[in-house]
Amino acid sequence: MTVNAWPDALGVTQVRFARPTDRLEEVTRFYVDGLGLNELYRFENHAGYDGVMLGLPGADYHLEFTSHADGSPGDAPSNDNLLVLYFSSEARMYETVERLGEFGVEPVATENPYWAANGAIAFPDPDGWQVVLVPRPVF
């Protein structure tokens, strides 16, 4: 089954994955300079929050990271908190692996052996959330 559009019954046009951090600049640098996402928007002092939205221009999904003046709830609750990025090919994935290596980020083991068995490589972001790079889409 191939799905190329949002289901009509859902009525959703965009998705944002948002989470807090106490390391906003380090996290932004990891996702922009390390992974290669674009900074789409930044805001400061909005009801005590600073934040940044990252993603791909024109895409209907993006990541938001916020930092509150009073601090955040803390680091990732477990190693199974993942952001999974599927690449068009192994070669494209390894371009990003190489860039992260030059950026000084070392790969880590995932909790679930599925990822390694399928050629994926995981890297921790500055808050300890794992970003899993997969060499090809699943569907």
Question: Above 70 in pLDDT, residue 2?
Answer: no
Whether 30 and 59 map to the same domain: the answer is: yes
Domain for residue 75, yes or no? no
- Which of 23, 38, 68 finishes a domain? 68
Please give the distance of CA 103 from its chain centroid, rounded to a whole number. Answer: 16
**Predicted confidence (pLDDT) per residue in 56-72, tens digit:** 888 889 999 999 999 88
At residue 8, the pLDDT reads 78
| pLDDT average, residue stretch 89-111 | 94
Whether 59 and 89 map to the same domain: the answer is: no
Whether 64 and 28 map to the same domain: the answer is: yes
If one counts the domains in the chain, the total is 2
Sorted by sequence, the CB contacts under 8 Å of residue 134 that are 6+ apart come out as 84, 85, 86, 87, 93, 115, 118, 119, 120
Provide the pLDDT confidence category of residue 55 given band limits of 50, 70 and 90.
Answer: very high
| pLDDT average, residue stretch 74-101 | 91
pTM for this entry: 0.88
At residue 1, the pLDDT reads 47
3-state SS, residue 117? helix
Question: Above 90 in pLDDT, residue 85?
Answer: yes
Q: What range does the domain containing 106 cover?
A: 82-134
CATH of the domain at 45: 3.10.180.10
At residue 77, the pLDDT reads 82
Average pLDDT value over all residues in the chain: 91
At residue 26, the pLDDT reads 96
Domain for residue 10, yes or no? no
Domain for residue 8, yes or no? no
